[in-house]
C-alpha cells in the first residue's frame, strides 16, 4: 500500500481519455470524471482539473479527421472545441451541484511575477470556495515567437507547472497507458510496469516512448519531463490509465496502481 495522504490534488486528463478512436467525445468518461471529482470535493479534497481535448472536440464538431498542419487552423479548432468542452464539463458537474470555472493559461502568465501572483491567488480563491478550476492552455494565443515564449510544450508540462505553483500534494496523470514500462507495451508484450520511480536517471529516460495516439500531442517523454519537475519540487505524481476515472479512488486509497513518481513515499505491506 502507498501512503500518499494528499489534500490538494491536480488531475490531468489526456485527449486519449476524452476522445474515442472514431473522433467522437467520450461522454461517458467525462460524466464519470465529473462524478469522481465532485465526490472528492465532498470529501474535503481540493481538486484542480487540467484537461486536454479542445482540438479533438473541435475536429469532431467540424468533421475533420486529420489534425491540420497550419497553426491558425489548429488554433481555430481549439477555440471551437474548448467552447464545446467547457460546456459539457459545466453541464456534467452541474448534475452534482458542483461549480467549475474555466482557466486558460499561457506560459508568459506563469513567468511574469505579477500575473503569476494573480493566477495563484485566483486559483487559491476558487479552491477555498470548493470550486474546481478546469485549466487548459490558451491555444488561440499560445505561440513560440522569437524570445517571447507563450506556449507550454504540452498539457503534461502544464499540469506539472500547475501542481508546482499551487503547491499541490499530488498530480494524478490519467493517460491511455497503465504507467511507465521498461518498453512500449503496445509493441513489446514482455515489458514490465515500474511501480515507483524516486529519481529520473538515464535508465528511466531510455524507457520513454513516442506518440501512441493520433489525437494526443505527447508521449511518454512528456510525462517523464513532467515527473522531473514534480520530483524536483519534492511532490508526488501517479501515472495511470484513465479509461475509467474511478481509478482515482484506488490511487487515493493507496493501491499500487500505475507508476508513482516520488522521492519520499515508501510503499507499505498490507
Binding site listing for ATP: 12, 175-176, 217-223
Query: Which residues sit in the known binding site?
Result: 12, 52, 139, 155, 175-176, 217-223
Helices 155-165 & 113-128 angle (0-180, nearest 10): 80
Q: Do residues 12 and 171 make contact, with C-beta atoms less than 8 angstroms apart?
A: yes
Residue numbers belonging to the annotated binding site for substrate: 52, 139, 155
Residue (of 177, 148, 154) closest to 55 by Cα position: 154
Q: Residue 46: count other Cβ atoms within 10 Å of its Cβ.
A: 23
What SS3 state is found at 19?
strand
Closest CA to 92 of 245, 217, 250: 245
Q: Rounded CA gap, 184 and 213, in Å?
A: 13
Dihedral of CA atoms 223, 234, 158, 254 in degrees, nearest 10, equals 60
Q: Which of 248, 251, 178 has its CA nearest to residue 212? A: 178
47-79 in b/e form (b: 16+ CB < 10 A) is bbbbbbbbbbbbbbeeeeeeeeeeeeebbbbbb
Amino acid at each position: 500500500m502507498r501512503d500518499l495522504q494528499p489534500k490538494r490534488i491536480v488531475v490531468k486528463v489526456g485527449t486519449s481519455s476524452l476522445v474515442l478512436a472514431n473522433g467522437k467525445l467520450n461522454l461517458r468518461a467525462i460524466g464519470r470524471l465529473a462524478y469522481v471529482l465532485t465526490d472528492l470535493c465532498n470529501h474535503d479534497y481540493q481538486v484542480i482539473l487540467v484537461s486536454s481535448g479542445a482540438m479533438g472536440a473541435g475536429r469532431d464538431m467540424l468533421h475533420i479527421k486529420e489534425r491540420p498542419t497550419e497553426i491558425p487552423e489548429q488554433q481555430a479548432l481549439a477555440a471551437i472545441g474548448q467552447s464545446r468542452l467547457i460546456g459539457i464539463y459545466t453541464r456534467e458537474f452541474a448534475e452534482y451541484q458542483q461549480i467549475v470555472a474555466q482557466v486558460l493559461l499561457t506560459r508568459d502568465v506563469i513567468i511574469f511575477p505579477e500575473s503569476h501572483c494573480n493566477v495563484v491567488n485566483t486559483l487559491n480563491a476558487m479552491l477555498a470556495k470548493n470550486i474546481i478550476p478546469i485549466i487548459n492552455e490558451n491555444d488561440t494565443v499560445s505561440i513560440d515567437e522569437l524570445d517571447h515564449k507563450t506556449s507550454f510544450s504540452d498539457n503534461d508540462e502544464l499540469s506539472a507547472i500547475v501542481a508546482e505553483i499551487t503547491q499541490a500534494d499530488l498530480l494524478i496523470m490519467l493517460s491511455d497507458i497503465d504507467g511507465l514500462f521498461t518498453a512500449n507495451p503496445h509493441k513489446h508484450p514482455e515489458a514490465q510496469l515500474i511501480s515507483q520511480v524516486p529519481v529520473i536517471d538515464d535508465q528511466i529516460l531510455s524507457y520513454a516512448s513516442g506518440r501512441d495516439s493520433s489525437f494526443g500531442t505527447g508521449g511518454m517523454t512528456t510525462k517523464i519531463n513532467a515527473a522531473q519537475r514534480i520530483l524536483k519540487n519534492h511532490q508526488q505524481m501517479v501515472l495511470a490509465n484513465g479509461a475509467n476515472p474511478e481509478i482515482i479512488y484506488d490511487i487515493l486509497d493507496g493501491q499500487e496502481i500505475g507508476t508513482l513518481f516520488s522521492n519520499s513515499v515508501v510503499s507499505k505491506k498490507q
